[in-house]
């Protein structure tokens, strides 16, 4: 036990030293922080799209339940005047039961299947709700790690086509399109600063470092990628900055940042946009829903080896 205590103390000291280095680097880069002016919430509609999934593996097959939903907040005179949902307030989950997947393929399938549901819902919600801004939960493109094995290539390409369609519709209808990353692990802004000679620690991540650099209501300069730009915004005093990816063809940076500041940060410790919080509440799935689905499936497939539960889930001791 003494050795464990000493190890924990050593780790805490190392983390404290890294934080001190981040504070010093943040002070050197403070000139880059940009003050954001909140946009008045009058006759503005902000929609959020999120997805949820639960999964379970059986002996010869895998079970997945997935759904996505949009929550649209129409603001008037600084408050929420109306909330609409797409496809509904209680959308049913969509089941998938793939067979013969390796562990890596199963993880890739679940991730891509969720992205397909989210992007498909975003496309339909954009057409049906016509918000001022549509916010996606997460990046505005598949993560590089979502590039699948050849067996998943068709599903991956379907997701890519959905993103392309979504981009085109947002541009055509003049609807701002952005992706908000709740818990980013990126280090792209830290890498940018290192290229500028700022001594950011090698282990620093963007949102932890920017917690020292940005005050509430401040953002970073944008970083440009093909079609998309990225910036970080601190919406709440006691929360970390958000990573924001957006399509600059659809909305000016100052207006998007101001809107995000206005619809986030009502709680000083949690600065996430309210429409995305509501979309998450609608889309998330409980384990009990998978319990009911898988139990019914196993009952109907009784006697089939593939429908047996995994050994680790039925140990007698």
What CATH number is given to the structural domain containing 58?
3.30.2170
Distance CA 57, CA 54 (A): 11
Distance CA 31, CA 34 (A): 8
Distance CA 100, CA 118 (A): 25
In sequence order, the 6+-apart residues with CB closer than 8 A to the CB of 26 are 209, 210, 212, 213
In a domain? residue 5: no
50: preceding bond cis by omega (within 30 degrees): no
In a domain? residue 8: no
In a domain? residue 134: yes
Looking at residue 58, its pLDDT comes to 78
Query: Model-level pTM?
Result: 0.92
In a domain? residue 178: yes
Q: 280, 274 in Cβ contact below 8 A? A: no
In a domain? residue 155: yes
Looking at residue 4, its pLDDT comes to 85
Q: 241, 212 in Cβ contact below 8 A? A: no
In a domain? residue 282: yes
Q: Among 51, 46, 32, 34, which residue's Cα sits nearest to residue 260?
A: 46
Looking at residue 103, its pLDDT comes to 87
In a domain? residue 2: no
Percentage helix, strand, coil, to 5, in the chain? Answer: 45, 25, 30
Q: What residue numbers bound the domain in which 247 lies?
A: 26-313
Looking at residue 29, its pLDDT comes to 93
**Residue 160 CB: number of other CB atoms within 10 A?**
14
In sequence order, the 6+-apart residues with CB closer than 8 A to the CB of 248 are 222, 228, 229
Looking at residue 266, its pLDDT comes to 77
What is residue 246's three-state secondary structure?
strand
Q: How many domains is the chain partitioned into structurally?
A: 1
| Cα first-last separation, the chain | 28
Strands (E), 27-152: 34-35, 44-57, 62-76, 79-86, 94-96, 133-137
With tokens 């799209």, the residue in question is 49
Looking at residue 269, its pLDDT comes to 86
In a domain? residue 139: yes
Distance CA 231, CA 225 (A): 11
Looking at residue 304, its pLDDT comes to 61
For the chain, how big is the Rg over CA atoms in Å?
A: 22
- In order along its 317 residues, the chain shows pLDDT tens digits of 678 888 998 999 988 888 889 999 999 999 999 999 999 999 999 999 999 999 998 767 888 999 999 999 999 999 999 999 999 999 999 999 988 888 889 899 999 999 999 999 999 999 999 999 999 999 998 876 667 778 889 999 999 999 999 999 999 999 999 999 988 889 999 999 999 899 999 999 999 999 999 999 999 999 999 899 999 999 999 999 999 999 999 999 999 999 999 999 778 889 999 999 999 999 999 999 998 998 888 788 776 655 556 646 665 55
With tokens 């190890």, the residue in question is 7
Q: Among 254, 277, 215, which residue's Cα sits nearest to residue 46?
A: 277
Distance CA 49, CA 162 (A): 14
Distance CA 279, CA 196 (A): 39
Looking at residue 145, its pLDDT comes to 66
């Amino acid at each position: 036990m003494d050795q464990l205590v000493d190890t924990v103390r050593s780790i805490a000291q190392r983390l404290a030293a890294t934080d001190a280095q981040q504070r010093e680097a943040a002070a050197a880069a403070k000139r880059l922080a940009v003050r954001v002016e909140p946009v008045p919430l009058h006759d503005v509609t902000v929609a959020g799209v999120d997805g949820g999934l639960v999964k379970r593996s059986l002996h010869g097959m895998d079970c997945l339940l997935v759904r996505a939903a949009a929550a649209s907040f129409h603001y008037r005179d600084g408050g929420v005047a109306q909330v609409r949902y797409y496809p509904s307030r209680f959308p049913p989950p969509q089941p998938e039961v793939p067979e013969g997947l390796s562990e890596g393929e199963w993880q890739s399938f679940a991730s891509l299947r969720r992205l397909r549901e989210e992007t498909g819902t975003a496309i339909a919600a954009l057409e049906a709700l016509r918000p001022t801004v549509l916010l996606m939960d997460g990046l505005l493109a598949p993560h590089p790690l979502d590039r699948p094995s050849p067996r998943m290539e068709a599903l991956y390409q379907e997701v890519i086509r959905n993103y392309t369609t979504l981009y085109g519709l947002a541009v055509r209808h003049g609807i701002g399109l952005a992706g908000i990353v709740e818990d980013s692990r990126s280090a792209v802004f830290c890498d940018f600063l290192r290229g500028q000679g700022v001594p950011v620690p090698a282990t620093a991540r963007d949102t932890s470092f920017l917690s020292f650099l940005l005050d509430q209501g401040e953002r970073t300069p944008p970083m440009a990628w093909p079609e998309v730009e990225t910036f970080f915004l601190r919406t709440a005093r006691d929360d970390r900055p958000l990573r924001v990816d957006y399509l600059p063809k659809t909305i000016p940076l100052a207006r998007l940042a101001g809107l995000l500041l206005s619809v986030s940060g009502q709680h000083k410790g949690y600065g996430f946009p309210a429409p995305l919080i509501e979309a998450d509440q609608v889309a998330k799935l409980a384990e009990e829903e998978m319990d009911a689905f898988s139990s019914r499936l196993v009952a109907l497939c009784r006697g089939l080896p593939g429908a047996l539960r995994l050994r680790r889930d039925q140990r007698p001791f």
